Chains A and B, each alone.
Chain A
């Protein structure tokens, strides 16, 4: 047969690598090439490393495609490779017990993968793979057939809004910048932590989006702003840039149009504040990343005082699709005010952790129970935090709300960069609010007083409450501080910092009151407020807890219920975990 072929795709995203994807790939290579499998089965065999396809909890994922019949294996380890080669590739019998289950299908069924589509399908290190799926076609069309204004119109008509922060209309931002008479102009792509799968799975889309954006606003230089620590992403983007330069998609006289455009790296260092666009610009300029006062907005006076557009990598990844398929097609996805799709990192206590892309407006229920497969261990859902550390906490009663910019704003949250953490009944909302405040206090740059001192005071009060020292008045102070910070901070970090507290207080007031008035942590998380005791009639006197206790706080004789000395107990929970009869009570 002419076309008969074997294709093996191994997931080598961040998670794929962490789960040993490199070893799996190398083993396949050894078997296939060194042992001459191709000659034996008489088919051409291709090995491809692909980016993240989202279903990271079952990594390493491997696709084996024989004559276009695809079998996907999950949780592949090096020891499994030999049998896959022998039974499946040589013997023609897929190994049923190793293939993906219903959860893999359910995980993908409700998603709408536009920007993540190619991730997990194409080799991110091959420009030919990207070109084969019409890559750089949109850029060619924009640069050779469209005036910059037409490109901006198209992006504006699509309704695309910034996928990183406040959700500003991308087309409008570009239009403001393009209208500035001063040059040079700059365009910056922020590759944040949630964009890593894009950078590692389909880096050329980011480069192409940046190129189209640069042409639209009349920029000469584009910057890829990325944390140095994200080695895998940097490597893939560096490789993509080199390939694009070789094909003359960036450089001088692109597509023979006379348009010159260069893309450079700007290596940031880890700092949450760098997600704020003016702080990011300070960082590119080599200074302390402290936000600037606005106006002037970056589109008017940005990098080195020149007109600058900043968008994140997800926004840019959408651009080639909009230009390629047209604004009308794009805006048919999503809701009235929020168009297109959004990538979320679904994590926390859901069964299927991973990277998901949904049409704007999909309900939280569909994400958590549909795509996510429900709560781990079939426990009760307690809340979902959407939008990263400065997003809001959404209670189960609101789980049918659609996820889009407006709806999230209404409930005190944000789309942000798309973080989504699911909490179950074992999580304490006061402690969660404290955790986020701890982070924001550490990341506050210190330029403006409301944020610098506000985060500090809020953290002190939340710590006081979780330590069992809270008073009713603390809640009033927390609310007042929240109001001041939200209205007077210079940048988004300070303005949204109170969100986790405000939303958790709104929806879990009883939990705050239990900490303050009853000195109890209902979820049993806050160490200062819990005690461990033995339930006498459940205790089998097996001695497991006694041996597990690091503080020698448990005494007991054979056949007699054990006793925990609360004075000696360090509340580590070792006994609670060790007990096989659920005879230890934590409250």
Chain B
């Protein structure tokens, strides 16, 4: 880990980055911001760790827990909402059997996120699987989408 963190630190110093860009770099590398990395950087940069956590907890995109292999983002903006976006989120959580308060499946295959509005209102409701936008979706389509990313094996809950 040390080696990777040193590389991130070098880049950060070279590009005169700020806390957000540093955290973005860490998250890009690990998929989340490991707590120990915060203390490591806090030490090296002489910035209180609390300042890091302040930024991490302010922006919903930063996460301190590991992320699943696939990220499914459900848009919950107004246009998606009135076209049934809430039903889609419900379906997704049900299909993936996510317990209350959890956003990642226990097998680490999927993480479910909510977006406020992704600006694709004309094809609402919208979900994003990894980087791919899927418009005009519904509970049946989204279930199929998830199934498509699960691979061949039967996982029991579908």
Cβ of A407 under 8 Å from chain B: no
Considering only CB atoms and an 8 Å cut-off, how many residues of chain B contact the other chain? Answer: 36
Query: Given A19-B135, A270-B60, do A345 and B81 touch, yes or no (CB 8 Å)?
Result: no
Contacts of A443 in B (CB 8 A): 116
Contact flags (1/0) for A200-228 with B, using CB distance below 8 Å? 00000000000000000000000000001
Which A residue sits closest to B81, measured CB to CB? Answer: A435
Cβ of B62 under 8 Å from chain A: yes
Q: Do B78 and A231 have beta carbons less than 8 Å apart? A: no
Q: Do B55 and A57 have beta carbons less than 8 Å apart? A: no
One of A91-99, A291-299, A419-427, A452-460 contacting the partner: A419-427
Query: Given A270-B61, A348-B79, do A18 and B24 touch, yes or no (CB 8 Å)?
Result: no
How many CB-defined contacts (below 8 Å) exist between A and B? 126
Q: Do A57 and B123 have beta carbons less than 8 Å apart? A: yes
Contact flags (1/0) for A281-305 with B, using CB distance below 8 Å? 0011111110000000000000000
Q: Do B61 and A421 have beta carbons less than 8 Å apart? A: no
Q: Do B117 and A57 have beta carbons less than 8 Å apart? A: no
Report the bound CA distance from A287 to B18 in whole Å.
8
Report the bound CA distance from A283 to B21 in whole Å.
10
B77 to chain A, nearest CB (A): 8
Q: Do B54 and A270 have beta carbons less than 8 Å apart? A: no
A289 to chain B, nearest CB (A): 7
A281 to chain B, nearest CB (A): 12
B113 to chain A, nearest CB (A): 10
Q: Do A353 and B122 have beta carbons less than 8 Å apart? A: yes
Partner of B126, one of A18, A59, A194, A289: A18
Which residues 62-80 of B sit at the A interface, judged by CB distance below 8 A? Answer: 62, 76, 78-79
Measured CB to CB, the residues of B under 8 A from A are 17-22, 24, 54-55, 58-62, 76, 78-79, 81-83, 115-124, 126, 131-135
A sample of 15 more A-B contacts (CB under 8 A), given A436-B78, A443-B116, is A14-B133, A18-B123, A18-B126, A193-B117, A195-B119, A228-B24, A271-B58, A287-B20, A288-B54, A347-B79, A348-B82, A353-B124, A355-B122, A421-B82, A439-B76
Measured CB to CB, the residues of A under 8 A from B are 14-15, 17-19, 54, 56-57, 59, 192-197, 228-231, 267-272, 283-289, 345-349, 353-355, 385, 388-389, 419, 421, 423, 427, 432, 435-436, 439, 443, 445
Could you show 7 A-B contacts with beta carbons less than 8 Å apart? A57-B123, A193-B118, A228-B61, A229-B61, A268-B20, A389-B78, A419-B121
